[in-house]
Amino acid sequence: MACSQVSPTQMSAAGSGTWSSPYTVDQAISNQNGSTQSVEGYVVGQPTSTSSVVTNNFPNDYALALAASPSEANTNQMVYVQIPSSYRSSFGLQSNPGLMGKKIKVTGSLSAYFSHPGVKSTSAFESVEDGGTDPTDPPTEPTDPPAYEEYYNAAEGKTGDALKTALHNIIDDHQTLSYDAVWGALRNTDEDPNNPNNVILLYSGRSQSKTTNGGGVNDWNREHVWAKSHGDFGTAQGPGTDLHHLRPTDVTVNSTRGNLDFDNGGNEQTEAPGNYYDSDSWEPRDEVKGDVARMIFYMDVRYEGDNGEVDLELNNNVDNGSAPYMGKMSVLLEWNEQDPVDAREIRRNNIIFEQYQGNRNPFIDHPEWAEMIW
């Protein structure tokens, strides 16, 4: 009988789930029952969706993937680990890319993350070398981001309509701005990180002076990513001035997009290469496809028709006209996976939350929730 050799890094003794005898990755995958256990494995990348793990250019410090081997590439053999704010500076891959291939140990709840076997609500992390040590205490640097996991406590463990309702109740009743105040807010939220005097325009990607806003050719204006005619909410305080879907765009490019739904294909917009359009849809450039999708997801969840507000809903159509619908859902879900959350989105979400509206876009913090709802 032929026997195959197994490398030492692929051989892990089963554990009891304690800190001194942690579960293997295989055990963690097989025991997704919500219990709190310790798990040990090799860092193999950052999950960005159910079946996608990136191994470089990490978009943030929010999650990592563990496997039994440092060379594992099959996501079915990985467990996805949620990183709370107190550990991101030490164990997030954007801040610590050198963790790739290293063995770590983590304690948390064995439950789905990104709709994939996971370890959530984590409370201890440790880099493992020869032998073991006590779990590290969370770092306490004043630059640690707020513990936004607590913001979403009411959504924990939910899926489908129950998750959507929980998120709505978390993010509604935000502090609204006047439409005129949006100008100044966009100068802050969309500032060019390489030039504080400029903003980055959404569709063209052009860096342009903050002071060149207006209605003239080559000025920038306020684009409603959820077109304001889809539900006829105009520029009224609330959906019409919600910064989570308002972005600076070139005036003529904005005019070309108009109130088109979102889909793939069409003719290229000459002033904004990489963007395409036809009679009933608009396709943004690849670099912001995910941004657009997550803004649309936010609007659907935020505006549910209560307190006299409009009820906005995703559908799988284009050419929705003035109905309070926006499509195309299947394409937006694809874009959410194709273009992961980046540092600019995270910064923008934090500014809106902390300085203006007091609410967050959940799909920037947890892009996996989109497929769990729709």
- Would you call 341 helix, strand, or coil by DSSP? coil
* pLDDT for residue 121: 82
Query: Distance (Å, rounded) from C-alpha 213 to C-alpha 226?
Result: 20
Name the one residue in this structure whose structure tokens are 């539900």.
Answer: 231
**Which residue type sits at 238?**
G
To which H or E segment does residue 185 belong?
helix 181-189
**Which residue type sits at 192?**
D
Question: Per-residue pLDDT for the chain (374 aa), expressed as one digit of tens each?
Answer: 444 344 434 445 788 999 999 999 999 999 999 899 999 999 999 998 788 899 998 988 889 999 999 999 999 999 999 998 778 889 999 999 999 999 999 999 999 887 799 998 888 999 997 443 344 444 433 333 344 667 888 888 888 999 999 999 999 999 999 999 999 999 999 999 999 999 999 999 999 999 999 999 999 999 999 999 999 999 999 999 999 999 999 999 999 999 999 999 999 999 999 999 999 999 999 999 999 999 999 999 999 999 899 999 999 999 999 999 999 999 999 999 899 888 899 999 999 999 999 999 999 999 989 999 99
What HEC string does 38-98 produce? EEEEEEEEEEEECCEEECCCCCCCCEEEEECCCCCCCHHHEEEEECCHHHHHHHCCCCCHH
Query: Distance (Å, rounded) from C-alpha 263 to C-alpha 328?
Result: 6
Within 8 A by CB and 6+ apart from 226, the residues are 239, 245, 295, 296, 299, 312, 326
DSSP codes joined into one string, 127-184: E--SS--PPPPPP--TTSPP-HHHHTGGGTT--HHHHHHHHHHHH-SPPP--TTHHHH
Burial class (CB in 10 A: 0-12, 13-18, 19+), 167: buried
Query: Distance (Å, rounded) from C-alpha 143 to C-alpha 140?
Result: 8
DSSP codes joined into one string, 103-115: EEEEEEEE--BTT
Query: Distance (Å, rounded) from C-alpha 219 to C-alpha 249?
Result: 8
Q: Helices 289-302 and 343-351: crossing angle, nearest 10°?
A: 30
Q: Is the dihedral of CA 217, 221, 225, 227 positive or negative?
A: negative
- Would you call 191 helix, strand, or coil by DSSP? strand
Which tokens go with 371? 């497929």
CA dihedral 174, 357, 288, 372 (to 10 degrees): -40
**Which residue type sits at 267?**
N
The reported pTM is: 0.67
* pLDDT for residue 158: 87
Rg of the chain over Cα atoms, rounded to whole angstroms, equals 22
* pLDDT for residue 137: 43
